[in-house]
């Protein structure tokens, strides 16, 4: 049976920041697109590309944090098992 872990404060904060970046970035990019007369310029493409890079960075950061937490939980279980094994050998 797989254990469920609690989300950390960092992960919750990362979710809020990620959603904020998604929404605000989209709104600003849409406004610039409308102000430029629905034309795609080089600056517009750079802005969209940088916004997408930020979104990908947030996703990778969340994945890395999840993997780190999983590894820490596995190590904690291994340490507990080793402690129990050592205690049983002492008896």
Distance of alpha carbon 29 from its chain centroid, rounded?
23
> Global pTM?
0.78
> Using 50, 70 and 90 to split pLDDT, how confident is the model at 32?
confident
Beta strands in 1-91 (DSSP E): none
Six token digits for residue 21: 């970046």
> In the predicted model, is pLDDT for residue 20 greater than 80?
yes
pLDDT score of 1: 52
> Using 50, 70 and 90 to split pLDDT, how confident is the model at 4?
confident
| pLDDT tens figures, 39-85 | 998 888 998 999 999 999 999 999 999 899 889 889 999 999 999 99
């Amino acid at each position: 049976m797989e254990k469920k872990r609690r989300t950390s404060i960092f992960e919750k904060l990362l979710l809020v920041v990620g959603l904020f970046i998604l929404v605000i970035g989209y709104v600003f990019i849409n406004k610039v697109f409308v102000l430029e007369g629905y034309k795609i310029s080089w600056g517009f493409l750079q802005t969209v590309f940088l916004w997408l890079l930020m979104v990908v960075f947030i996703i990778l950061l969340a994945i890395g944090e999840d993997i780190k937490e999983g590894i820490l939980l596995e190590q904690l279980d291994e340490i507990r098992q080793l402690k129990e094994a050592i205690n049983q050998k002492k008896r």
